[in-house]
């Protein structure tokens, strides 16, 4: 999240930071004069008057500045690359959830349901399910195209953050904030329904069970990361010097967690004894270990990572072009499973 500190909302920028994204007003106005003089419709008498009206319109406080700021804001956000948007979204989404509170609205809904059900648990659940469907339908109707796309993705809940990223529009943060707020309420209603359906299970037992599961999952994921780091140093400790090996470790873990291979990644230099087959064996086992987690990565992503980090190993001599040519992603993927390494071999239990 360190990069998030470098990325601000347009509204949080200082005027000095905003200025670089605005068009030059003087240049814009100076271009109007020759255009007007070239227009034969206007006489010499009314030309100056017409020019004044255009300049007045262009410099109007309520119109011109609003248009210019809109253009500058759009340019500002469009200057971010995909990875920066993902980093910003990750922090923005988490902060958004922390700022939304539907406790009062949910309490009112629950109270109305209890009055209507008159003590009948099944009727109470039926009422809540009806309100849930109504809110889902309202969400589709309220957000138009965004609501349609949400439905087409299977109406994902707020816990599917990666899926909701496909609906994120950085140019329309207010709409996305309201949309996430509605999804939060929908999730709270679903949770309430499930809670009513399990009245015989003590809430404390449920909480303990959930906490135990979270601890168990966290311990499992930490073990997987530790196994990967152990494998990493077992493979490369003798062939890559510091600080290069530290850099490689950090970008590998970052890649595994995000699935994103940065465009500006640096090539890793290592002992010439390490060949292409060695990095294939290394990456295949990393892929195998990591995919025991919930957030999996594909072999295509692994192949792209190798191509970016070890470009000199992932290429061949093109006689016709008299130059080195990068291997195709499909070619690298095809060879990942093969245990071809001379210095890095797959663990015996994995063969």
**Whole-number Cα distances in Å, 251 to 90, 118, 226, 248, 305:** 18, 59, 15, 5, 10
Neighbours of 284 (CB within 10 A): 21
pLDDT over 80 at 140, yes or no: yes
Question: Which of 160, 130, 163 has the alpha carbon at shortest distance from 149?
Answer: 163
Q: Are 180 and 158 in contact (CB under 8 A)?
A: yes
Q: How far is 324 from 312, CA to CA, in rounded Å?
A: 9
- Average pLDDT of 69-79? 61
Q: Which residue has the higher pLDDT, 172 or 230?
A: 230
Is the torsion defined by CA of 34, 36, 42, 47 positive or negative? negative
Instruction: State pLDDT tens for residues 168-217.
Output: 887 788 899 999 999 999 999 999 998 888 764 555 565 666 777 778 77
Rounded Cα gap, residues 280 and 285, in angstroms: 9
Tell me, what DSSP letter sits at residue 341?
-
Distance CA 95, CA 13 (A): 19
| Band of pLDDT at residue 267, cut at 50, 70 and 90 | confident
- What percentage of the chain carries pLDDT values higher than 90? 25
- Both tokens assigned to 311: 């470009």
Higher pLDDT, 26 or 304: 304
* Highest mean pLDDT of the ranges 33-37, 195-199, 327-331: 327-331
What pLDDT is recorded for position 351?
A: 55
User: What backbone phi and psi angles, to 5 degrees, belong to 318?
Assistant: -90, 105
Q: Give the model confidence (pLDDT) of 232-262 as tens digits.
A: 999 999 999 988 999 899 999 989 988 888 8
| CA-based max dimension of the chain | 93
> Tokens in use for 120?
């009948």
Residue 35 pLDDT class (50, 70, 90 cuts):
very low
Domain residue extents for the chain: 2-78, 82-197, 212-350
Phi, psi of 19 (to 5 degrees): -55, -35
* Helix locations, the chain, DSSP H: 15-19, 25-30, 32-37, 44-58, 64-78, 82-99, 103-117, 121-142, 145-152, 161-164, 173-197, 203-236, 244-258, 276-290, 299-309, 329-336
* Beta bridge partner(s), residue 316: 325
Q: CA of 107: how far to CAs of 104, 114, 129, 201, 278, in Å?
A: 5, 11, 15, 21, 60
Is the sign of the CA dihedral 267, 272, 275, 281 positive or negative? negative
Q: 51 and 43 in contact (C-beta within 8 Å)?
A: no
Please give the pLDDT value at position 182: 93
| Spatial distance between the Cα atoms of 309 and 274, rounded to a whole number of angstroms | 14
- When mean pLDDT is compared across 123-127, 197-201, 284-288, the lowest value belongs to 197-201
Map residue 273 onto helix, strand or coil: coil
% of residues, the chain, pLDDT over 70: 74
Q: Cα dihedral angle (286, 292, 293, 295), rounded to 10 degrees? A: 70
Segment 75-102 shows an average pLDDT of 75
What is the distance, to the nearest Å, from the Cα of residue 148 to the centroid of all Cα atoms in its chain? Answer: 20
């Amino acid at each position: 999240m360190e990069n998030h500190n470098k990325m601000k909302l347009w509204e949080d920028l200082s005027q000095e930071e905003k200025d670089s994204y605005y068009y030059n007003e003087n240049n814009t106005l100076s271009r109007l004069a020759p255009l007007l003089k070239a227009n034969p419709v206007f006489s010499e008498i009314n030309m100056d008057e017409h020019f004044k009206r255009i300049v007045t319109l262009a410099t109007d406080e309520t119109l011109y500045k609003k248009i210019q700021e809109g253009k500058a804001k759009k340019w500002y956000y469009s200057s971010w690359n995909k990875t920066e948007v993902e980093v910003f979204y990750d922090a923005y989404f988490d902060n958004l959830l922390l700022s939304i509170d539907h406790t009062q609205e949910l309490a009112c809904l629950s109270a109305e349901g209890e009055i209507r059900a008159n003590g009948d648990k099944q009727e109470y659940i039926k009422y809540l399910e009806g309100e849930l469907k109504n809110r889902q339908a309202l969400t589709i109707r309220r957000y138009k195209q965004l609501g349609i796309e949400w439905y087409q993705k299977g109406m994902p809940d707020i816990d599917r953050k990666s899926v909701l990223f496909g609906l994120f529009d950085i140019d329309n943060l207010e709409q996305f904030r309201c949309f996430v707020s509605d999804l939060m309420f929908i999730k709270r209603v679903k949770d309430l329904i499930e809670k009513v359906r399990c009245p015989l299970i003590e809430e404390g037992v449920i909480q303990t069970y959930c906490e135990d599961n979270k601890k168990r999952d966290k311990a499992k994921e930490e073990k997987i990361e530790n196994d990967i780091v152990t494998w990493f140093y077992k493979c490369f400790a003798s062939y890559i010097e510091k600080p290069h090996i530290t850099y490689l470790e950090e970008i590998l873990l970052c890649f595994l967690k995000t699935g994103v291979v940065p465009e500006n990644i640096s090539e890793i230099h290592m002992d010439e004894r390490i060949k292409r087959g060695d990095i294939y064996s290394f990456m295949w086992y990393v892929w195998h270990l990591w995919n025991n987690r919930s957030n999996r990565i594909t072999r295509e992503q692994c192949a792209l990572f190798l191509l970016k980090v070890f470009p000199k190993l992932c290429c061949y001599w093109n006689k016709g072009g008299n130059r080195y040519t990068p291997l195709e992603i499909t070619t690298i993927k095809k060879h990942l499973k093969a245990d071809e390494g001379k210095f890095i071999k797959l663990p015996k239990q994995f063969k």
